[in-house]
Every structure is written in structure tokens, then in C-alpha cells.
Amino acid sequence: MSTISVAQFHKVFFEESLEGLDAMEAALLALDEGGDAELVHSIFRAAHSIKGGAATFGFPEMAAFTHEAESLLDQVRDGRRSIDKTIVELMLRTVDCLRGMFDRAQAGQPLADADSENLKQQLAAAVGHDVPAATVKAAAKPAASNGWIIQFRPHAGMLAGGNDPLRLLRELAALGQLVVEAQLDRVPTLDALDPTECHLGWRIELTGAVSRDAIAAVFEWVEDECDLSIEPRVAVAPPSAPVVEAVAAPAGAGVTAGVTRNTTSSNDAGSVRVGIDKIDSLIDLVGELVITQAMLDQFREEFDPARLSMLQEGLAHLARHTRTLQESVMGIRMLPIGSVFNRFPRLVRDLSQKLGKQVKLEMVGEHTELDKTVLEKIGDPLVHLVRNAIDHGLEMPEKRRAAGKSDVGTLRLEAFHRGGSIVVEIVDDGAGLNREAIIAKALQKGLIKSGDDISDEAVGDLIFQPGFSTAAVTTDLSGRGVGMDVVRRNVVDLGGNVAIKSRAGMGTTFTITLPLTLAIIDGLSAAVGDECYIVPLVSIVESIQLPADAVRSVTGGGELFRFRGEYLPIVRLHQQFGCANARQNIEDGLVIVVEADGSQVGLYVDELIGQQQAVVKSLEANYRRVEGISGATILADGSVALIIDIAGLIRLQGRRKAA
Amino acid sequence: MSDHARSEALQSQYLTVNLAHEEYGVDILAVREIRGWTPVTRIPQSPHYVLGVLNLRGAIVPVIDLRLRFGLSREAYDATTVTVIITVNGRQFGVVVDAVSDVIDVASDALRPVPDMGTTVDTEYLKGLTSIGDRMVLLLDADKLLQPQDAQMLEAALNAANDVKAVA
């Protein structure tokens, strides 16, 4: 009697189904703009696999729900029904609803809810609507076969007769799918409660082709001891306020079911799908490495100076293969940014409909690859920028016409490589930043003083200030409570930066620059006393040697030096980190001008050792986060060097000075 | 037979280490490896007993000096000084002790509670003591040495501060 548990396949099923839903959504949106039959086929296929999978893996509610959607699609596919806006809308909602079901399935919660039931009825109604055989009567009738609503109110003394409501509900559950809602209004306060009496009532929705008599038979023994009504369910179930809702829950669980099980998804490790070609190239490389190793191995036995050139060649091979291997392994973590872009057609469609704007979305460079970690974290900032662009940037059609622009606003998302970075641009051809309103707001907030000469860049920079809500400047879509400062911080956390360029009446461009990967950084290793630290290359502006008289001491112990017309503070690394045996005189060491969060400081170190690529290792995995340190790396000699977090170091210095 | 099995089940093994003329026991299941003392990379902003981090086959592992942890004076590191790598709750860390000495079996009923005084060590890091012949062995509570609770709390606080509510 051994059974194979299907639970182990759930994860794969969820993953594949969610991908299927993405594909469905994309195809639906394409259909919305006028597509061909092939799109309908692909939507149908996706729905069909989800239905099949759901039935196999024990999610009957999901299978039943998808079945209705599939029936509707089947009619479209057979040409019995033409695709129109309402169907696309209905199917998009179906996709959303299924996503919700998958979320609940992953959390181990009941799948069906009022929304899904509601939508299912609508789908069923849509399917029935056009079938020729379905007479006019059928529209009113389907409810009869579709289920019943049972109001079951036991009298207080029912339990005394040995009748257990739980048993009744179980019997009902055997007839079809149940949605049971406990009615608690008659439950007295605790001091007045007589535990031998029944105070609960139930509203039961029974789905399935069940005759009235079958239901009545269940209640046969308690007819005289309860108030009972059995009514056919109307096509659209009214989503009555769910006081306590439990799907097919036994009566006793009625109250506790109200406590939602907040099972956090424990299997959060995540997985990556890797193209077979990437794996093949890895295998090739490892093969090459083995050959090189065998070649070098010959020298272990005996070393003949005459073969020195062979050794050199072997070592060169080894270096090359190692580097390529490293790049290939990193490549496994790289995923196309298209997976993030995919969500925007839907977002833009919904948002523009809601706001009454016309928006054309252009997406370029979806195949640009980014590190998975970066990819996962860039989604939210991008969504925010896109929403902002549609909400604040693009104007209403009338206004656009008045400005001599086409009614349809253009929003362009573009990703491309530049140097060692990935650049993502969000370009709209809207009104641009409202310079006056922003300056007024900044004055009010005390961020700038009146009379200051504010450049366009500075205006752009203002909107990134914390607490600088644009709500008063332009309309706000909803109380999202997240500002541009969060967007900036998210991007900076990823080691990137955001820039804004705006021209009044012409539009706004946000440029996000991101590192290719977080796993490897280019850095300069610097010696401080007996220790070695890595300074990330991206934050380095310049390194200079200062004569002693170039440094001004200011009150409070700070030191300043002049760099390109500005005075920058000096951060002595040996003081911040407490390094022993470090050089003390400014002219003996080096000052590295570094930049983070828009501010520059001079980092005083003993000397630079050299440039190197550093594989970033976490300190937190075994220890904890250390301020001013972003991670660690392993040097060529096997020892550990710490990587400096410039922004953190500047904060640290600020705090130390304040203290 | 069954008696034998039961006594087996109740026994646990401890690695004993020497520290300032006392003998301490570490649950052997928590011990990953023992390695000779090698210099480590100091970490700024850390408690004085955290010597630094070392590279354990690609993982960055913090190392604490047990003498300093217990408020004892630091001896020079010599040939017998070792780093014991311990894994607790999925976290690895190294503990520097004067020397390793033995592996002992301790039956659970031979475990005595620690009296509040009489040792040079704060009792909060100890989970009990036992005697082997006429030697007394103090059994360490490895969980508390690096205070992972503190580390986690700190981390949680930092994460909360930096956590950015996802854009709705």
C-alpha cells in the first residue's frame, strides 16, 4: 500500500504553471492589440496544461476553475466566438485569480475564495451564453444544477438529541464542494455561554449537480430541531461579508479558521533555469582544465629546465581556462531582463485605462542579461518609475494635443550594456518635471534657500530627497507611501545609481546604471598598516599624494583638503578601523578620492598595492554585518581581505564626528 | 543488550581542550575540524575577543579567542595553540584554545550543574561540568560563545532599517 507522494512535484508544477500564466498574460495583451489565431492556441495550451497539472497534483478547485476558462477559450479557438475586449478582460482576471490560487497553494491555504467562485460563475455564464443549444431559459436555470445555498441554524437544544452538526457537514461535503461560513451572531458572551447548547449557524454553499432531495435527506433527522432553508444558488454568488470562512471546514473549526495561517514560504532558496548550451560550454571548459592539469602534472615527476617553455604555456592555459570558467559560471546566474520587463505591458495597460491616458509601451533590449540577484531587486524600483512616468509624466490626450503632440504618449524601456555596466532607461515623452512646483516644494521643506541658483540637474536631484513627496506637485495615484528616495536607495544598494534628465514639455528620462554582477567586483587593494583592504573601483574618482600643507584642520578635529575647487573631508582609514602600524603623516601615504551617495571624501591609506578582481564573500553568513565593510574576499595567498563599503564608511565617519 | 543500547543512547562525546590550566569540553558533534593556529584578518568594529576572520575553503569564518572571551589574559600563540572550528545553527566559527587534549564520553547522568562560583569563567557559557577520574571538565555551551542571538538581533535590526517596503 505504498503511495508515491506527488507533493515533491508541486514546486515544479507551480514554477511551470506560473510561467504558463505569464505566457497567457503576454498573449492576451497581444490579442488585445489584435492578434492571430496562434495566440489563442498558445493561451489555450497554457490553460490546458494548468488544468491537467492541477487535477494530477491534487488541486481540484483549481482544475475546476481552469476548466471553465478552458471551455471559453475552446469556443474562441473553434471560431464559435470572436475575441473581444470583454473576453480579454475576463481572461486577464482569470490569470490574476489563478496566480492568487497558486500563492495560496504554496502557502498551504484553501484555494478557492469568493473572488474565484465569482469569476468561475462569470466564466461559466460566458460559456453558456453563446452555445446555441442553451435556450433563453437556460440562463436562469444553470444555477439549479450549479449548486445550492443552505442556511442551517440548529436550535439551541439540537446537540442534546445526539445530532452532531459536524457529521451533517461531512455528509454534505460528500455531495459536492462546500464553502461553509459560520454565523457567530448568536454566540453569547463567555459568562452566559452554555457549552451544551448549540449557538452556531452556518451558511453553506454547495457546488455540484446535487438534487434538492439529496440535501434534504442529509438534514432528515434534524429537520425539527433547526431552521433550514435550501435555495438554488444564483449565477453570480453574492460575496457576502465573510465573517469566518472556511472551505469545507468542519463545524468545530469554524472559529479558529478565522486565524489565517501565515505560513511563510520556507523553500526560499530559489532556483535558476539554465540553458543547456551554457551547461555544455561549462563541461567543455572543465574538460580543457583537466587536460591542462594533466599537462602540468608531468612536471611533478621530474622537472627538466629544457621544458620550461612548456610549463609556461601550461600555466598560461590554466589562467585562461580559469578565467573563462569563472565567466561561464557567472553566466549561469545571468538572466535576461525581459523577465522583469514582462510585467509592464499589463501594468501599463491597466494603469492607462484607469487614468484615461493613451500610452504606447516600447521595450528594447529584453535580452540583456543581468545577475539574478540584481534582477530580483530591480523589479520594484522599475515598477515605481514606470507608474510615475504614466501617472505624473505623460499627460492626458487633450493636453498632449494642445501641446502639439500625438494623443498617444510613448513610454520606452530600454536595457543595454555600457562599459562594465547595464543601463536601463525609462523614457517618456510627457511634460517633464514641473520645475517651479518642485522648487516651491523644496523651499517649503527647507531643502534649498530662496535665491539659490538651481540648475536643472539639482532640480532632478531634489525629487530623490527623502520625504520629498510629489503628491502636492502632481496627482498621486494612491497612497503608496514610497518615494523616489526609496528607488534611489534600492538601486544604490545594488551598487548602481539613478540619474534623471528632464526637459519641460519634451519628457523625462530616468537612467539606471547597474553592475553586471554582485558576485565579483573590480577593486584596488590598499595597504593600511599591516592590513589590506579592497576599495571598489566604481567608487574611486582619483588617487593623489598630498603635501602636508594641503590639509587644513578644522574645529572638531576634521581635516579638509582642496580637490578640484571643493573642500573634501579626509577619512583616515587607520583611525576608522583602528589599524596598527599605519602611517600617520599625510604626505607619506595616499589619498584616494572616493564617491558614494553623491558625496566625496578623501580616503587616507598607506599605499596602493594593485588592482584586482575580488570575488565577494559574505561576512554575514557566519558572522554579522560590519559597518563600513561590505564583504570579504580571498587574496591570492589565501588570506582574507575586507571590502570597504564607502557609503557606510562615510556614515560612520559622520557619526563619529557627531559623537 | 537493551541495557547496553540505553547507556549508549544517553552518552555523548566531548572534545576536551585546555585553556588556562582548566579543561573544557565541546560537544563533538558541533566540532567541524581542528587546525593549527594561523593568523587571521582583523575585523573592525568588533568585540575584542573576535580576533578576525579566516578563509575556510572559500567560506569566511570568524575566529574568537576563548581566553579573551572569558576575560583571561592572552597568551602568546605557540605550536600547540589550535583553532577549533565549530558549527552551531548553520553558522561556523573558530575558537582559539591553548591545546586540544582528549575525547571523552559523558553519560547524561554524570552531568552536574555549574556552581555559581569557583571557576574563572562566567557560568553563562557553560552547560555543566563532569569529572573524568580526578579531572574536572567544564562543558561549554557552544551556542553562546559567539552570541549568535545578538548577531541575529543586530542583523534583524539592520535589515529592518534598510528594508525597503516593496513598491506597491
At B49-64, the pLDDT tens digits run 899 999 988 889 999 9
pLDDT at position A237, please?
42
DSSP A276-337: HHHHHHHHHHHHHHHHHHHHHHHHHH---GGGHHHHHHHHHHHHHHHHHHHHHHHHHTEEET
Mapped onto helix, strand or coil, the DSSP state of residue A560 is strand
Query: Taking CB atoms and an 8 Å cutoff, what residues of chain A touch B166?
Result: 380
**Mean per-residue pLDDT for A468-488?**
57
Of B53, B158, B165, the CB nearest to A619: B53
Q: Give me the helix-helix angle, A37-56 and A10-32, nearest 10°.
A: 160
pLDDT at position A659, please?
55
pLDDT confidence bin for A469, thresholds 50/70/90: low
Answer yes or no: do B59 and A625 touch at CB < 8 A. Answer: no
- Other CB atoms within 10 Å distance of the CB of residue A546: 18
Query: Taking CB atoms and an 8 Å cutoff, what residues of chain A touch B164?
Result: 380, 482, 486, 489-490
Query: What are the cell numbers at B161?
Result: 532599517
Find which of A426, A480, A498, A623 to mutate to test the B interface (most B CBs within 10 Å of its CB): A623
Cβ–Cβ contact B57 with A under 8 A: no
Chain A positions touching chain B (beta carbons under 8 Å): 380-381, 383-384, 387, 478, 480-482, 486-487, 489-490, 493, 531, 576-579, 617-629, 632, 634, 638-642
Residue holding cell 582619483?
A: A542
Contact A629, A620 (CB under 8 A): no
Q: For residue B73, give how far its alpha carbon lies from the nearest alpha carbon of chain A (Å).
A: 20
Q: Among A250-254, A377-381, A393-397, A630-634, which is the least confidently predicted range?
A: A250-254
pLDDT confidence bin for A244, thresholds 50/70/90: very low
pLDDT at position A143, please?
38
Answer yes or no: do B164 and A489 touch at CB < 8 A. Answer: yes
At A569-587, the pLDDT tens digits run 999 999 888 888 888 888 8
Residues 6+ apart with CB under 8 A from A28: A43, A88, A91, A92, A95
Q: How far apart are CA B162 and CA A110, in angstroms?
A: 34
Question: Which chain A residue shows the shortest CA-CA distance from B62?
Answer: A623
Query: What are the cell numbers at A130?
Result: 453563446
Please determine, for residue A554, whether its predicted confidence score (pLDDT) is greater than 80: yes
Q: How far apart are CA A156 and CA A100, in angstroms?
A: 39
Q: How far apart are CA A313 and CA A319, in angstroms?
A: 10
Q: Among A12-16, A141-145, A438-442, B31-35, which is the least confidently predicted range?
A: A141-145
Contact A545, A556 (CB under 8 A): no
Nearest residue to A117 via CA among A238, A215, A18, A232:
A238
At A490-517, the pLDDT tens digits run 888 787 888 888 888 888 899 998 877 7
Query: Taking CB atoms and an 8 Å cutoff, what residues of chain B touch A579?
Result: 42
Answer yes or no: do A383 and B167 touch at CB < 8 A. Answer: yes
Query: Taking CB atoms and an 8 Å cutoff, what residues of chain B touch A576?
Result: 44
Q: For residue B55, give how far its alpha carbon lies from the nearest alpha carbon of chain A (Å).
A: 6
DSSP B65: E
Of B53, B155, B168, the CB nearest to A625: B155
How far is residue A654 CA from its own chain's centroid?
34
pLDDT at position A137, please?
36
Answer yes or no: do A622 and B46 touch at CB < 8 A. Answer: no
Q: Which one of A117-126, A230-239, A318-327 scores highest in mean pLDDT?
A: A318-327
Q: Among A63-77, A168-182, A275-289, A337-351, which is the least confidently predicted range?
A: A168-182
pLDDT at position A335, please?
84
Answer yes or no: do A493 and B158 touch at CB < 8 A. Answer: no
Question: How many CA within 13 A on the CB side of residue A307?
Answer: 13
Query: What are the cell numbers at A249?
Result: 471546514
Answer yes or no: do A478 and B168 touch at CB < 8 A. Answer: yes
Q: How far apart are CA B26 and CA B16, in angstroms?
A: 6
Please determine, for residue A309, whether its predicted confidence score (pLDDT) is greater than 70: yes
Q: How far from each other are the two terminal CA atoms of chain B, in whole angstroms?
A: 65
For residues A386 and A271, which has the higher predicted lDDT (pLDDT)?
Answer: A386
